[in-house]
Structures are given as structure tokens and as C-alpha cells.
Amino acid sequence: MTMPGVVRPEPILPTAITRLEALDWQDVEQELDGRGVAVLSGLLDEGECRLLAGLYARRELFRRHIAMARHGFGQGEYRYFNYPLPRPIAELRTALYARIAPVANRWNQWMNQERRYPDRHADFLAQCHAAGQQRPTPLLLRYHAGDYNCLHQDLYGDLAFPLQAVILLTEPGLDHQGGELVLTEQRPRRQSRVEVLPLQRGDMAILASHHRPVQGARGVYRVNMRHGVSRVRAGQRLSAGIIFHDAE
């Protein structure tokens, strides 16, 4: 029996965290350094995806609901979680940050950017909060047939972590058609490159949020990354976004 006024803790994602910790991070780091994106296939199982997708209906968990069309962001909707984050989201955010902070620091070194990110996410969040960025940014997104997400960057203030993660929570071909995650890479004085990520349910994509370094013949140059979602042609698509900086 649930006692009135007693908040039950959210279930956690032990298998996803175990899988995350068991990955070959040298491989993942190489992909991130080389291409600015890495896909962790099947990080979440079906039940874990359903658990996260099921949070969408629980309005009390969110601080803000965005209808994308109203802002010119595309078509579809998303909700920013409130603090305290549901434990699965908080645990993924904390565990993933610790694994990719070295990548972020290496990128800044290569790009001659002074900022270095602390080893622990809690310490980075303390920096965000001290800089006036105190609102949580992890989110759930929901798209129906015809919906899409315009190319964008998720920057919410001066302080920004250069990588973020997206988890696909529904199964392409079954729950929805279309709705591919798309990345663009704008190169100085050259035409842009695009990459389509054919994710399956439970896959996590780690991607460069803003700038990333590319090794060229004459040294390192900086490219400008954007991401978006192509039109969902049928069904319903849900995803979770994990952004490491908080918002103003």
C-alpha cells in the first residue's frame, strides 16, 4: 500500500548502468574524437525504454512543456524534467558524464579553449549553478506522424558541456516510420556534411553539441555541429535527451 504523501523512489536502470560501465570506452572515445558521434547500441532494453517513455505522462515530473511549432523549432513536443530528476535519468547523466569528461577536456585542449571540466558531474553542476544556470535540461520528446525537429544546438547559457546524449525509446519500423536523428557538420569555408544515425530502440547516441575539433592536414580546425530529427512518417516516436549543463 502506498502511504499518502509518501513519494516512492523511481525504479532505477541497473542493467543500463552496468552495460554503460562495461563498454570499451577507448573505442567510444576514438569514435567521438574521429567523428563527433558514437552510438551505444542496445544500451537500454525494451523494459527500460518503456519505463522512460512511461514517464512522459507524469506531468508532475516536468518543469516545462514545449510545443515545438509555437517556437519555430519544428513540430512535436517535449518536456524538461524538474529537479529532483527521476533516478534513471539522474543515474545515466552522472555515469555518462564521468566517462566523457576526458573527451570534452581533450577537445578543448585541441581547440585552444581554456575551460576544463571537472571529473564529477556534481562539480560541473555546481559551476553551472554558480553561473546562474540552475534549471535542469534533461528532457523527453514525443513526435507523431508529420512531426520533426529542426536542426539546432542545445545551448542554455555561457556554460556548456560540448557533448550530449539522445536515447531512442521507440522501435523504428514498428512504433514509427522515419524520424531519423540527423547531424550536420559545418566546416570553415567548405560545404556542410550530414550524417543520419539509424538508431534502434534502446540505442544511445553521444554527440557533439556545438563545436568539435577535426584534425586537418595543417593542424586542428573547428567545426560547428547541429542535430535534428527528420519527419516522422507514421506512428509515434519518443526519445530522451541528456544534456549536461543546466539552463539559465
- Residues of this chain that interact with ligand AKG (CB under 6 A) are 141, 149, 154, 166, 181, 227, 229, 239, 241
The only residue of 154, 175, 203, 246 in contact with Fe ion, by rule CB under 5 A: 154
Instruction: Considering the complex, state which of residue 133 and residue 149 has its C-beta at the smaller distance from ligand AKG.
Output: 149
Query: What is the separation, in whole angstroms, between the first and last Cα of the chain?
Result: 40
Per the structure block, which three cell numbers stand in for 123?
562539480
Instruction: Considering the complex, state which of residue 25 and residue 224 has its C-beta at the smaller distance from Fe ion.
Output: 224
86 contact, one of Fe ion, ligand AKG, none, CB 5-8 Å limit per kind? none
239 contact, one of ligand AKG, Fe ion, none, CB 5-8 Å limit per kind? ligand AKG
Measured between alpha carbons, how far is 165 from 239 in angstroms, rounded to an integer?
A: 10
Per the structure block, which three cell numbers stand in for 100?
566523457
Q: How far is the CB of 96 from Fe ion (least distance, A)?
A: 16
SS3 label, residue 7: coil
141 contact, one of Fe ion, ligand AKG, none, CB 5-8 Å limit per kind? ligand AKG
133 contact, one of Fe ion, ligand AKG, none, CB 5-8 Å limit per kind? none
Instruction: Considering the complex, state which of residue 30 and residue 192 has its C-beta at the smaller distance from ligand AKG.
Output: 192
Compute the C-alpha angle 209/213/216, nearest 5°: 145
Per the structure block, which three cell numbers stand in for 16?
543500463
Give the count of alpha carbons within 13 A of 69, CB side only.
Answer: 7
Cα distances from 90 to residues 81, 95, 139, 200, 242, in angstroms, run 10, 9, 11, 22, 9
Instruction: Considering the complex, state which of residue 20 and residue 140 has its C-beta at the smaller distance from ligand AKG.
Output: 140
166 contact, one of Fe ion, ligand AKG, none, CB 5-8 Å limit per kind? ligand AKG
* Helices and strands in the chain: count of H runs, count of E runs: 6, 14
77 binds Fe ion (CB under 5 A): no
Residue 72 DSSP class: T
Instruction: Considering the complex, state which of residue 53 and residue 239 has its C-beta at the smaller distance from Fe ion.
Output: 239
Q: Which residues bind Fe ion (CB under 5 A)?
A: 154
